[in-house]
């Protein structure tokens, strides 16, 4: 007898799922435990394995389209079996809204994984490329063909973009996806690779459907910003000794420890001394965490992921370095799993590598705080009454005033400053 396969609830806050990819087509036999589809939730793109058996008679959701939790995903049955009456009966039922997720304060931190490239088609109202004299191509092979990644070529073809007008930012001038994403009508290249413009005489625009990840980012950070009373504390840290320590570590151990690794370790040690900052607001109670799980914000094309370094205060710099590198690669490959991002008690967002000197970050609920880390700047500083060249880094702590007061946040930053300015104290606690 034909059976309905329903859209599963694959995360605690999921209300709908997008079918990123079907692995079975109508007429295929499906066995229990066999991969049927990849489903993009509000957290990740996850594999859906059937617990039912039969022939796939009907697919209720096209690739790139969404369905609510418990909606019809597919129908399985015997080959040639009539399923239309079952489908009609199901569609005639009154629509029942999916239950709303628990209040943000009670939820585990939710971070979405990036959707697959084919998540949804883009709507465009763009004119055909304006005819113009052919420009010299920067990224070209010896035979004159443009060098571009397969994905870049596919996107350019879909958008009607002439690749000869795109400057490649990849290796040896190769055109990659980001170059297509950043391309604006009217841009073109000359023989030296300089971008120039020609007149655009028609209005045009592009609309991109909001991904599940971007929806979740918008919802959760809006809730955080408008429900948690934020206040901000900024401190300047002398990084001269940290720079010397990092150079020594690299020279002695050949481990490419980053400044972000040093910050994570210093933050973890500081949280151990200031548990109020390592807390959560849960509505009718405050949870003070005795463990230190640090979320590390990682930028990907579709937004931001926050994998978690667990028990960071007990790990060495090399362990932290290896773990973060693994998370970054998994994020780029879209392979992060729920266990990788759940349970953070504090979050670090570092934009120093993008040339940002100072910024404020929105708290990632249910955490009470998030640390925004800027880049290291060379500037004149006063030491021993003399103005000398120095290297400073600004950090800003965003605090939920319901949990953390100004004095508590300031004491945490003072401890963090002391550890980064005297890394021998930090590194003396355990082996590198």
The strand pairing partners of 223, in sequence order, are none
- What is the helix, strand, coil percentage profile of the chain, to 5? 30, 25, 45
Angle (CA) 383-385-387 rounded to 5° is 60
Start-to-end CA span in the chain (Å): 62
Instruction: Give long-range contacts, CB 8 A cutoff, 24+ apart: 170-175.
Output: 170/139, 172/139, 172/147, 173/138, 173/139, 173/147, 174/139, 174/147, 174/148, 174/149, 175/139, 175/146, 175/147, 175/148, 175/149
User: What secondary structure does DSSP assign to 245-313, as a single string?
Assistant: HHHHHHHHH-----HHHHHHHHHHHHHHH-GGGGEEE-SS-EEE-SS--EEE-EEETTEEE--EETTGG
Residues found in the chain: 432
Q: Per the residue annotation, which of 23, 230, 291, 401 is the catalytic one?
A: 401
Phi, psi dihedral angles at 159 (to 5 degrees):
-90, -5
Cβ atoms of residues 233 and 412 within 8 Å: no
Q: Are strands 29-30 and 54-59 parallel, antiparallel or unpaired?
A: antiparallel
| C-alpha dist (Å) from residue 170 to 128, 162, 175, 176, 351 | 26, 17, 6, 6, 22
Question: Which helix (H) or strand (E) is 150 found in, with range?
Answer: helix 150-159
**Continuous segment of H or E residues that includes residue 325:** helix 317-332
At residue 80, φ and ψ (nearest 5 deg) are 80, 0
> What is the rounded CA–CA span in Å between residue 52 and residue 263?
49
Does the active-site annotation cover 290? no
Q: Assess contact for 213 and 114: CB atoms under 8 A.
A: yes
Catalytic residues: 401
């Amino acid at each position: 007898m034909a059976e309905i396969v329903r859209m599963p609830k694959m995360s605690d806050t999921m209300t709908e799922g997008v079918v990123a990819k079907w692995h079975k087509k109508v007429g295929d036999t499906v066995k229990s435990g066999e991969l049927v589809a990849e489903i993009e939730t509000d957290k990740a793109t996850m594999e859906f394995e059937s617990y039912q058996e039969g022939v796939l008679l009907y697919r209720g959701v096209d690739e790139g389209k969404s369905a609510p939790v418990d909606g019809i995903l597919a129908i399985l049955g015997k080959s040639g079996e009539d399923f239309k009456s079952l489908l009609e009966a199901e569609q005639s039922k009154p629509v029942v809204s999916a239950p709303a997720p628990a209040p943000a304060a009670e939820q585990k931190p939710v971070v979405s994984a990036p959707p697959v490239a084919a998540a949804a088609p883009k709507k465009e109202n763009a004119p055909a490329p304006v005819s113009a004299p052919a420009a010299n191509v920067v990224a070209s092979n010896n035979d004159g063909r443009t060098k571009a990644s397969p994905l870049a070529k596919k996107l350019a073809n879909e958008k009607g973009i002439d690749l000869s007008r795109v400057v490649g930012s990849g290796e040896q001038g190769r055109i990659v996806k980001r170059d297509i994403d950043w391309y604006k009508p009217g841009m073109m290249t000359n023989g030296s690779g300089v971008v120039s413009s020609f007149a655009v005489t028609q209005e045009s625009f592009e609309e991109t459907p909001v991904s599940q990840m971007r929806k979740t980012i918008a919802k959760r950070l809006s809730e955080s910003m408008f429900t948690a009373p934020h206040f901000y504390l900024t401190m300047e840290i002398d990084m001269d000794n940290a720079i010397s320590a990092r150079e020594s570590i690299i020279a002695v151990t050949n481990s490419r420890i980053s400044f972000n690794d040093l910050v994570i370790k210093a933050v973890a040690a500081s949280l151990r001394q200031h548990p109020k900052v390592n807390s959560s607001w849960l509505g009718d109670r405050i949870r003070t965490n005795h463990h230190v799980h640090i979320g590390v914000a990682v930028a990907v094309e579709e937004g931001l992921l926050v994998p978690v370094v667990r028990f960071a205060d007990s790990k060495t710099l090399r362990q932290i370095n290896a773990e973060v590198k693994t998370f970054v690669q998994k994020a780029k490959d879209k392979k992060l799993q729920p266990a990788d991002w759940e349970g953070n008690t504090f979050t670090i967002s570092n934009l120093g590598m993008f040339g940002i000197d100072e910024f404020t970050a929105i708290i990632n609920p249910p955490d009470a705080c998030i640390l925004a880390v800027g880049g290291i700047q060379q500037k004149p500083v006063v030491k021993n009454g003399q103005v000398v060249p120095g290297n400073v880094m600004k950090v800003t702590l965003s605090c939920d005033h319901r949990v953390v007061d100004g004095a508590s946040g300031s004491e945490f930053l003072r401890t963090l400053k002391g550890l980064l300015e005297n890394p021998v104290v930090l590194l003396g606690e355990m082996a590198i």
